[in-house]
Amino acid sequence: MIEQNLARLVQEAAGRYGDGKETPVVMVGAATCGRAAGALAVLDAVSQTVQRLGLPAEVREVGCLGHCYAEPLLVVAKPGWPAVAYGYVDEGTAGRIVEDFLVNDDPCIEFALAALEPNELIPTFADFARGACEQKVVLEKCGLIDPQNIDHYLATGGYAALARSLMQEPEAVLEEIVRSGLRGRGGAGFPTGRKWQTCREAEGEIKYLICNADEGDPGAFMDRTILESNPHLLLEGMVIAAHAIGATQGYIYVRAEYPLAVQRLQTAIKQARSKGLLGEDILGSGFGFDIAVFQGSGAFVCGEETALIASLEGEPGLPRVRPPFPAQAGLWGRPTVINNVKTLSYVPHIISKGADWFRSLGSEQSPGTAIFALAGKVVNTGLAEVPMSTTLRQLIFEVGSGIANGRQFKAVQIGGPSGGCLPEEVLDTPIDFDSLRQAGAMMGSGGLVVLDQDDCMVEIARFFLDFTRQESCGKCTFCRLGTEQMVRILDRITRGQGRPEDLDLLENLARSVQAGSLCNLGRTAPNPVLSTLRYFRHEYEAHIKEKRCPSLMCKDLIAYYILPDKCERSCDACVGSCPVEAIANNEDRIKVIDQAKCVKCDSCRVACPPQYSAVVKLSPPDAVPGGGGVK
């Protein structure tokens, strides 16, 4: 019955789904990242070209392929040809590619990023260093199917795992997840199966399942990409999970800052309901489960389970003491499982391919893959999915292609604001929950920001601490006041007013905040300070003892200066770029910066033509010849 119902849906879907084997399909990546790069204009140009030429091609708006560095992205699948992805396209090139490829059989290799399947013409993503590291499970279909069309998901094997699990006893499904060793991808890595088991065994008729999509980490965008690129994968995982734990109602708690994700989720839920994949009597199995979207209102602490529940209940998001754990008494006092977007997205894959397959990826203690959002000073920013136990070095230098602009690697910030900064020496650490914690960072939700020689570690620590200070809910004294004091000290140091005893004080405070906080927001808040003190103590010392910022980043400790012998007198680029008219000619027509007016916005340095490179930053500010110390 269940099988037949699904087979019918798949058959209907297949008739409406084009995969480029019969008619050409042109796909434009239009997730939030793509849109920021201009994907909607490209989409428009593609549609117009197809229309103008009267081509029998399908134009499809898809999510993100993960190669965000090259956005906007275009994929053309044409019968008889390998599907090809093009990067850095604009309206003009997009129109040209469509016309040349679809009409004239010229795949425009000069614009191609890579092919999606092996062929003799164009290398595939797997042929690059990046491809050798990557292994896509959750991201497999992202950027290749229309997230707003359930037919695409169904026709490519979607919801098969759901049908399979509905034909099994809930205990068997649960057992499979326990055996897979799946650990929560929200950050802490708690065994998912054990959480489910606790909830299943808890007493009560009514149980809830919540998907935590409140991705609040600055620097993380994996959840957003999954929601925008393949929302049905999450829905399928949720129904399977609900079946396993016996939940009847589900919520997706998604941040309101992700309007596109919210919209695509709502569309997906409606479609799943209309096909009988959500709601009462799913696929004729007798099991009923429905999902509502709840928009978070911008509070980082609501990523914490108990705070998230408080928020759903209409309260300020204050965490509470555990136990009881939410799996025992959660939303409205009822047993509740809360899982991250990624955790739930692995579930359909584990059900259809088995626990042993999942265990074969990654490491013994951390099986599966890890999804990272690569950002910062790395060449290839974007999303990457690699097996656990891949090293940080591989991730940064192979997947990310190393540091941009020929700069030097300095540190990698991993695990969001409560993670840590790791230096070159620990780059060979395999990525898994336990190794990272040992190195002084944490897995977190997967934000990875690469820092180079121009980034000041003291300033980074201050930035993160300032973030957690602002986001602290204020319930615990140490978290509320301890972080405040630490920010003040760090602030002082970055302004060149640090005192030698500050470092001990910082360390002391950090330990106290860790010990005196109720939830993980407070307990992990000092991580950036502790890890930078551990690995980059010399930078703190330079700020305190020499009033100097070695990375030339801290505004109060630097000054801009135009090297007279490099300044091309007839060029006015810097003068024009200065927003506060702080640059003028001296009697020799050499440009001079008025230090009292300068707002240190960096415009002049960027504007100065590279062949002159006359604008430099100096630290300390009084290193500027002739009274640069003026403030």
Partner 1 sequence: MQLTAEEKQLAVETARRVAASHRPGKGSLIPVLQEIQADLGYVPAVAMQEVAQLLNVPAVDVYAVVTFYNQFRLTPPGRRQVKVCMGTACHMKGGQIILESWERRLNIKVGETTPDREYSLERVACVGCCTMAPVVLVNEEVHAKVTPTRVDGLLFAHQLAKEQVEGGKAIEQGGND
Task: Show the binding pattern over residues 5-34: x = contacts partner 1 (CB under 8 A), - = does not.
Answer: ---------------------------xx-
Q: Interface with partner 1 includes 457 (CB under 8 A)?
A: no
Number of H helices, E strands in the chain: 26, 18
Interface with partner 1: number of residues (CB under 8 A): 60
Task: Show the binding pattern over residues 522-561: x = contacts partner 1 (CB under 8 A), - = does not.
Answer: ----------------------------------------
How far is 331 from 325, CA to CA, in rounded Å? 11
Alpha helices (H) in 113-169, listed in sequence order: 129-133, 150-155, 160-166
Q: Least Å distance between CB 33 and partner 1?
A: 6
Q: Interface with partner 1 includes 68 (CB under 8 A)?
A: yes
The β-bridge partners of 414 are 420, 448
Q: Least Å distance between CB 566 and partner 1?
A: 22
Q: Which position among 187, 446, 447, 498 is part of the footprint of partner 1 (CB under 8 A)? A: 447
Q: Which position among 37, 245, 503, 598 is part of the footprint of partner 1 (CB under 8 A)? A: 37
Q: Which position among 6, 59, 71, 518 is part of the footprint of partner 1 (CB under 8 A)? A: 71
Among positions 204-263, residues that touch partner 1 (CB under 8 A) are 215-221, 224, 256-259
Q: Least Å distance between CB 284 and partner 1?
A: 31
| Residue number with CB closer to partner 1 (178 or 601) | 601
Q: Least Å distance between CB 554 and partner 1?
A: 11
CA angle 564, 567, 570 (to 5 degrees): 130
| Residue number with CB closer to partner 1 (382 or 440) | 382
Per CB under 8 A, which region of 68-76, 101-109, 277-285, 436-444 contacts partner 1?
A: 68-76
Q: Which position among 24, 29, 69, 369 is part of the footprint of partner 1 (CB under 8 A)? A: 69
How far is 266 from 97, CA to CA, in rounded Å? 33
Q: Which position among 7, 103, 121, 599 is part of the footprint of partner 1 (CB under 8 A)? A: 599
Among positions 316-355, residues that touch partner 1 (CB under 8 A) are 316-317
CA 133 to chain centre: 18
Residue among 555, 559, 556 at smallest CA distance from 621? 559
Could you tell me whether strands 369-376 and 382-387 are parallel, antiparallel, or unpaired per DSSP bridges?
Answer: antiparallel
Per CB under 8 A, which region of 64-72, 142-150, 283-291, 342-350 contacts partner 1?
A: 64-72
Q: Which position among 349, 377, 475, 523 is part of the footprint of partner 1 (CB under 8 A)? A: 377
Q: Which position among 129, 601, 618, 623 is part of the footprint of partner 1 (CB under 8 A)? A: 601
CB atoms within 10 A of CB 356: 11
| Residue number with CB closer to partner 1 (100 or 424) | 424
Per CB under 8 A, which region of 111-119, 141-149, 203-211, 373-381 contacts partner 1?
A: 373-381
**Does the CA dihedral 58-63-68-71 come out positive or negative?**
positive
DSSP string, 245-294: HT-SEEEEEEETT-HHHHHHHHHHHHHHHHTTSSBSSGGGSS--BEEEEE
Assigned token pair, 604: 């002049």
Contact 569, 616 (CB under 8 A): no
| Residue number with CB closer to partner 1 (177 or 457) | 457
DSSP string, 401-412: -SBGGG--EEEE
Task: Show the binding pattern over residues 561-580: x = contacts partner 1 (CB under 8 A), - = does not.
Answer: ----------------x-xx
Contact 217, 254 (CB under 8 A): no
Q: Which position among 90, 313, 356, 594 is part of the footprint of partner 1 (CB under 8 A)? A: 313
**Does the CA dihedral 183-418-130-43 come out positive or negative?**
positive
Among positions 82-111, residues that touch partner 1 (CB under 8 A) are none
| CA separation, residue 198 to residues 202, 336, 340, 350 (Å) | 6, 10, 17, 20
Phi, psi of 575 (to 5 degrees): -60, -45
CA angle 383, 387, 392 (to 5 degrees): 70
The β-bridge partners of 560 are 617
How far is 539 from 550, CA to CA, in rounded Å? 7
Q: Interface with partner 1 includes 451 (CB under 8 A)?
A: yes
Q: Which position among 183, 455, 530, 539 is part of the footprint of partner 1 (CB under 8 A)? A: 455
Residues near partner 1 (CB under 8 A) = 32-33, 35-37, 68-69, 71, 215-221, 224, 256-259, 294-295, 297-300, 311-317, 373, 375-377, 381-382, 413, 417, 447, 449, 451, 455, 460, 463-464, 467, 471, 473, 577, 579-580, 599-603, 606
